[in-house]
Copies of this chain bind each other. A is one copy, B any other.
Amino acid sequence: MRIEGLTHSPSPKHHFASDNNSPVHASVLDAIVSANRGHTLAYGDDYYTERAVARIKQTFGAACEPFFVFTGTSANVLSLAALTRSYHSVICAESAHLNGAECGAPEKFTGVKLIGLRSDTGKITVADIEACLGHEGDQHHNQPKVVSLTQATDFGLCYTADEIGAISEFAHRHDLYVHMDGARIYTACAALGRSLKAMTTDVGLDVLSLGGTKNGLLGAEAVLFFKPELARDFKHIRKQGMQLASKMRFLAVQMEALLSDDLWLTNARHANLMAKTLAAELTRIPGIRITREVQTNMVYCTLPRQNIDVIREAYLFYVFDETQSEVRLVTSYDTTEADVQGFVEVATAALAAEG
């Protein structure tokens, strides 16, 4: 079939718009193809899912209980559903994906109120959390029940193990659970040189939204419970939350592939390296200012307003803050040095032409 009049072009490219735009890693696609043999029981009661669960337990510790879901939004929302009743509230950064970029999915599905704390880094502190307390038992107020941390944050910055540990310790002392939105946990662990277990299980998390799609998967995320009793009814929450995959094996093997042979680490390290390289190059261009520390795979910088369009013709990216002319450049596991050099050249030329 030929279809006339399509707007979009099929020509493959690399961009700096989002790690969501990247293709599936070859090893992950291989894993899908390998699992495509014969009938298996649907809904997760199959060999491949069992194998992937075993891999996750090897990675995060035997006590964790993993559940596969389709999206990061659902991993977050269903995690909160497991931890809360509707009169609870969830403390998070104002910039957290679940607060600003999920079209109210958490409120809709769980009924809770999100308390979005302002933070330039996207990180919140024990002091921030403590300031939200004080209405315990007041029937007029939502009762705080969960602290949700985004790792790495939407600004690409990382909580250290000590910071998470301190938050967990404080939270548990105040009868709060700790959830982590780990859509980009891989780049954080790569940047910090720590294992996935060291940054989750070992620092007191209760529940983790384990990402995947932003690190080379076709589309698979997981919810990991570190205290089995919290997972007790989660299969019903997942099904009622419309996130039970019938051909579960194809979610499972994606995650298994990512956690095998350190693929997650290789991918994340590369993305981080490309971001560092990009930032270093951009620093040298007069008229461009790196606006936030580059710890993982995001570079925030200002670009002269009048140059943005011409650069975007070559490499797609998003403007983060119109008022400051601040843009966000995201690298991915498949970003190449040529992409970085290409971007730098286009930007250099654009700004020079301007001058």
18 chain-A/chain-B pairs, Cβ below 8 angstroms: A3-B51, A6-B47, A7-B50, A10-B48, A13-B38, A15-B39, A17-B41, A23-B38, A24-B250, A32-B218, A39-B334, A71-B242, A85-B236, A102-B239, A103-B239, A108-B109, A140-B239, A219-B250
**A233 on interface, CB distance cutoff 8 Å:** yes
- On whether the beta carbons of B54 and A6 are closer than 8 Å, the reply is yes
A165 to chain B: which residues have CB within 8 Å? none
Let me know if B142 and A242 touch, CB within 8 A: no
- B23→A71 contact, CB < 8 A: no
7 nearest interchain CB pairs?
Answer: A12-B38, A87-B236, A8-B47, A108-B111, A20-B42, A74-B242, A12-B37
A42 and chain B: residue at smallest CB distance: B20
A112 at the interface (CB under 8 A from B): yes
- The residue on B at minimum CB distance from A69 is B242
A17 CA / B174 CA spacing, docked (Å): 30
Copies of this chain, whole number: 4
- Cβ of A267 under 8 Å from chain B: no
Q: Which residues 78-108 in A have Cβ within 8 Å of B in the complex?
A: 78, 85-87, 89, 100-105, 107-108
Given contact pairs A86-B240, A100-B141, A245-B70, A37 touches B20 in the complex (Cβ within 8 A)? no
Is A239 touching B73 in the complex (CB atoms < 8 A)? yes
A90 to chain B, nearest CB (A): 11
Q: Is the CB of A240 within 8 A of B105?
A: yes
Most buried by B among A33, A218, A243: A218
Whether the Cβ atoms of A219 and B246 lie closer than 8 Å is yes
Given A71-B244, A85-B233, A245-B219 in contact, is the A55-B1 Cβ separation under 8 Å? yes
Interface of A is mostly: loop
- Distance to closest chain B CB from A3 (angstroms): 4
| Chain A interface residues toward B at CB < 8 A | 1, 3, 6-15, 17-18, 20-24, 29, 32-33, 36-43, 45-48, 50-51, 54-55, 58, 70-74, 77-78, 85-87, 89, 100-105, 107-109, 111-114, 139-143, 213-214, 218-219, 233, 235-247, 250, 260, 316, 332, 334
Instruction: Return A214 CB to nearest CB of chain B, in Å.
Output: 8
Q: Which of B45, B86, B213, B260 contacts A1 (CB 8 A)?
A: B260
Instruction: Report whether A3 and B242 are in contact in the complex, using a CB–CB cutoff of 8 Å.
Output: no
Partner of A238, one of B109, B139, B142: B139
Closest Cβ–Cβ distance, residue A95 to chain B (whole Å)? 13
Q: Are B87 and A237 in contact (CB under 8 A)?
A: yes
- On whether the beta carbons of B101 and A141 are closer than 8 Å, the reply is yes
**Which residues from B are CB-within-8-Å of A87?**
103-104, 108, 233, 236-237, 239-240
Please determine whether B240 and A242 come into contact, CB atoms closer than 8 angstroms.
no
- In Å, the complex CA distance between A203 and B46 comes to 40
Q: Contacts of A7 on B, CB cut-off 8 Å?
A: 50
Are the C-beta atoms of A36 and B47 separated by less than 8 Å?
A: no
Q: Report whether A6 and B111 are in contact in the complex, using a CB–CB cutoff of 8 Å.
A: no
Name A140's contact: one of B9, B102, B247, B250 (CB within 8 Å).
B102
Shortest A94–chain B CB gap in Å is: 11
Chain B residues, Cβ within 8 Å of A114: 113
CB distance from A155 to the nearest CB of B (A): 17
* Distance from A46 Cβ to chain B, minimum over Cβ atoms (Å): 6
Check A33/B41 contact, CB under 8 A, given A218-B250, A242-B74. no
What residue of chain B has the Cβ atom nearest to residue A213's Cβ?
Answer: B246
